[in-house]
Amino acid sequence: MTTFKDRPSATTETAKAANGTREERKLTLAEILELLAEGRLPLRFTAYDGSSAGPPDAPFGLELKSPRGTTYLATARGDLGLARAYIAGDLEIHGVHPGDPYELLTALADELVFRMPPPRAMARIVRSIGVEHLRPIAPPPQEAPPRWRRVAEGLRHSKARDAEAIHHHYDVSNTFYEWVLGPSMTYTCACYPRVDASLDEAQENKYRLVFEKLRLKPGDRLLDVGCGWGGMVRYAARRGIRATGVTLSREQTTWARHAIAEEGLTELAEVRHGDYRDLEAAGFDAVSSIGLLEHIGVRNYRSYFRFLRSRLRPGGLLLNHCITRADNRSRPSTRGFIDRYVFPDGELTGSGRIITEAQDAGLEVLHEENLRPHYAMTLRDWCANLVEHWDEAVAEVGLPTAKVWGLYMAGSRLAFEAGGIQLHQVLAVKTDDRGGVDDLPLRPWWTP
């Protein structure tokens, strides 16, 4: 990757103009971008003012189509301004499908780095953009309010606010999710038994892995919190387990109950609509939590694990499967595009913090593993599904929402591949009053 120090300046004239060595005039939008990127543009940029920058033969391109797009870019930091302009239709991408812009995002991540220019140059940029573009305007309607405004829905991670956050993301459309997720209707990381395995095969293998880790046998009782469309519940019920799932999503509940009835599993499986914290039943042989912890809030981890422990019988096993950060120091709150468009109030932390909180809640941690590469592959396959069903998806949820999903999934794939985020499974057991457990094998008992 070329760096600023080891390349000749490609923006000498632009820099001179910005610093006033040429006649004072407004910079074009392309000149502004070149100045901010220090001339290092991995794609072709064109703008509504007729200016352009970047290699003419670049395989990928960005087209700024309207002054509103300039306002979005100038008034939001990080990826939020880009997302707003793109979702609103003021910024178009070229060379990739909107259902899977992975290659364009990869080019941007590898090569494009914005630098703060000197004060005099920055003042010239501001004058060139115009004060009218520095006043924030309403974002696209798909965007959730900023966190400080969500207090109207309750305190962060209160039952009411969690319900609204889940509604924002999961109640988009069951039909839309069927196209993206495929027949498994499983919206969590799959586990690929082979590099050439299909998505459905990998999701089935993930449920198999969870099932085996929990040592479930016919007649056992399983609680699956944050159960989604009931994939784990139905997998367990097919094998003679009495399985109860809980979800805050009404759309998921409706779909899951229908699927349970269609499979003839109503005697063993049920999915309840509600908050897991309202569940009174206890004495479960096992608890699975697959993709819920991201929505709990880090400060609530200990109470969360204490609650799940209280629902287990002595010797019962807990499997927690969730996205994590690569370290235990980073700020847990998500920001920018992900917080506003994908997971409002979502929080991630490192696997070490999760293990610590589980242990401090009285659980004995037996095993943990990282499935990071598997999630990158899962997102790859979800994007492929979205591309395949793009026209139907747009008709179902609208072009802006479909673009949100393509951008979010492709960007997340890139983050998993780079190691910025990971996916960890943590297996723990509830010991008895003497600190003992049932007859657990001495070594891991499941098939990898």
∠ CA 216-221-226, nearest 5°, is 95
The encoded tokens of residue 260 equal 């349970």
Under 8 Å between Cβ of 226 and 292:
yes
DSSP collapsed to 3 states, 210-222: HHHHCCCCCCCEE
Comparing 394 with 149, the larger pLDDT belongs to 394
For 59-74, how does the pLDDT look when each residue is reduced to its tens digit (9 = 90+)? Answer: 999 999 999 999 999 9
Among 231, 226, 307, 296, smallest CA distance to 269 is for 231
Backbone angles phi, psi at 306, to 5 degrees: -65, -40
Residue 92: per-residue pLDDT: 98
Percent of residues, the chain, with pLDDT higher than 70: 89
d(CA 69, CA 76): 11
* pLDDT for 145 beyond 90: no
Among 343, 380, 382, 338, smallest CA distance to 186 is for 382
Spatial CB neighbours of 55, under 8 Å, sequence gap ≥ 6:
41, 43, 44
d(CA 194, CA 404): 30
DSSP 395-425: HHH-HHHHHHHHHHHHHHHHHHHHTSEEEEE
d(CA 65, CA 80): 17
* pLDDT for 22 beyond 60: no
Segments making up each domain of the chain, as ranges: 12-134, 159-430
Among 222, 217, 188, 216, smallest CA distance to 202 is for 188
The encoded tokens of residue 266 equal 């109503």
Q: What is the DSSP letter of 97?
A: B
Q: What is the mean pLDDT of the chain?
A: 89
Percentage helix, strand, coil, to 5, in the chain?
45, 15, 40
As beta bridge partners, residue 94 has: 61
User: Using 50, 70 and 90 to split pLDDT, how confident is the model at 10?
Assistant: very low
Among 321, 327, 319, smallest CA distance to 353 is for 327
For 376-435, how does the pLDDT look when each residue is reduced to its tens digit (9 = 90+)? Answer: 999 999 999 999 999 999 999 999 999 999 999 999 999 999 999 999 999 999 998 887
User: Using 50, 70 and 90 to split pLDDT, how confident is the model at 112?
Assistant: confident
The CATH architecture to which 159-430 belongs is: 3-Layer(aba) Sandwich (3.40)
Cα 336 to the chain's mean position, in Å? 12
